[in-house]
Structure 1
């Protein structure tokens, strides 16, 4: 019997902190764990995932741009994965992959728990409509946002995401070129990945989107989050949050699913955050 293996799949994937996070969780729980990062170009992902299972793979996290592919490769889906049409957590059981999505739960737990922010009653703007955006859209609605506007460079994808949410009137799509006419928002979430792996290009959007209590969230972390967070600070957002906490919290959800143990996320988050601060200071 091959040794049980776990991994995170993405393209690119060298930046991923997931192996460190899961190693830390495993030390807490006293679990021997083999968890690696596997680069999987979209065209090769099905074959790479199949080889991983044959070699003892028992669970996988999935990041950009593979979440919708992971959905299609799953034999069964949890209700939350089915609702959003994207999978970020795979479990191998009975010779099949079973898909879940822990992104939304991770984001809400980070914002409402770690940052003590109330999402209820906020008018929200979601930038992006890919697998990452799908993972958080339904969770934001469940957390009580008043309404959710979705904007994407490809309007058809925004329309498809809104249709999948099944809440007409409360969730709706808007054109990117018409953002200046949409008023302001109390929550703006960037779920695009344009900056990852390409350097810190500028993020541009009308600053009229921001009001005196706007919370700006980028589900990316590190270098990939810099452009949006810089825009948010320049626009005067009251709170600015990157995706590091979401990353840790969604990983905890997956770890509990695989191992039946809920890890303590605080020390893991604090260590990673302190390291990021040191890197910024060193620069």
Structure 2
């Protein structure tokens, strides 16, 4: 009897992850046997951990979360168009010849969650993107493709924001501002938190003036990590605010389809994860 296919998610920290549960729920829809584990790897140990999983451990596919998305992209032998645009990857797949392929499903998953699940219209929105790392790079192009009118990128390290804007290459739509100027840059009707502040228990110190009258606020993190940003959005009278759980489910579905050739139904899995734990 053959062993179940082996999958994993790499991150640091990783204890909060829902990915193993999501992939087991997806697998149950198709009666697929698999193992899926969470692997905590510090940045300096990531490359070795990936090699051990795929080569010695005979792994087939892995999701990648912060802070490893850039490193995952660099490790791959071939890269999808979305990964190339972002310069980061959230999915690694072992090909038949043993090489690693990198993909980035973050942007597509975020747009589906916002537009299809939550009914948000992204067209003609003035958008503020907080952060310019792997998570931000993974979603910026997809949001612009979805019709966002303007994109302002703010990052604590200004050079990183400038590099992302330069990579996008649309100066008429995309600009950067300094973090210390947040109180003076006006208001926005779409605010995406792509920083790791919530996961690292750090304060963003955002002014309420950023929130426009019809603003949608979205944290790419989920669970406890998203609570501070969502509390800020509510206190600032944002029109709607969401965490990234739906995005997580959607990006997981993309990875699952890539690995298994079958598209899972995401809504029942999302609803299960939304149920309070006892």
TM-score tier, shorter chain, comes to over 0.9
Structure 1's consecutive aligned runs of 4 or more residues displaced over 6 angstroms after TM superposition are: none
- Structure 1 position 169, deviation (Å): 2.0
Compare 186-195 and 17-26 and name the one that shifted more: 186-195
The aligned counterpart of 1:57 is 59
RMSD (Å), alpha carbons: 1.3
Alignment partner of 2:60: what SS? strand
The aligned counterpart of 2:113 is 110
Q: How does 1:154-165 map to 2 (within 5 A)?
A: 154-165=157-168
Deviations 1:61-109 (A, max 9, x none): 0000000000100111111110011100011012111000001111000
What TM-score do you get using the length of structure 1 for normalisation? 0.94
Gaps of 5+ in 1: none
**Could you tell me how far apart the structure 2 residues matched to 1:139 and 1:121 are?**
14
**Could you tell me how far apart the structure 1 residues matched to 2:69 and 2:134 are?**
5
The aligned counterpart of 1:215 is 216
Alignment partner of 2:262: what SS? coil
What TM-score do you get using the length of structure 2 for normalisation? 0.96
> Would the aligned equivalents of 2:4 and 2:33 in 1 still touch at CA under 8 Å?
no
- Structure 1 position 170, deviation (Å): 0.7
- Structure 1 position 177, deviation (Å): 0.9
Deviations 1:7-37 (A, max 9, x none): 0000011110000000000000111111110
> Would the aligned equivalents of 2:198 and 2:229 in 1 still touch at CA under 8 Å?
no
The aligned counterpart of 1:76 is 78
- Count of aligned pairs: 275
**Could you tell me how far apart the structure 1 residues matched to 2:238 and 2:204 are?**
15
Gaps of 5+ in 2: none
The aligned counterpart of 1:42 is 43
**Could you tell me how far apart the structure 1 residues matched to 2:205 and 2:254 are?**
33
> Would the aligned equivalents of 1:204 and 1:231 in 2 still touch at CA under 8 Å?
no
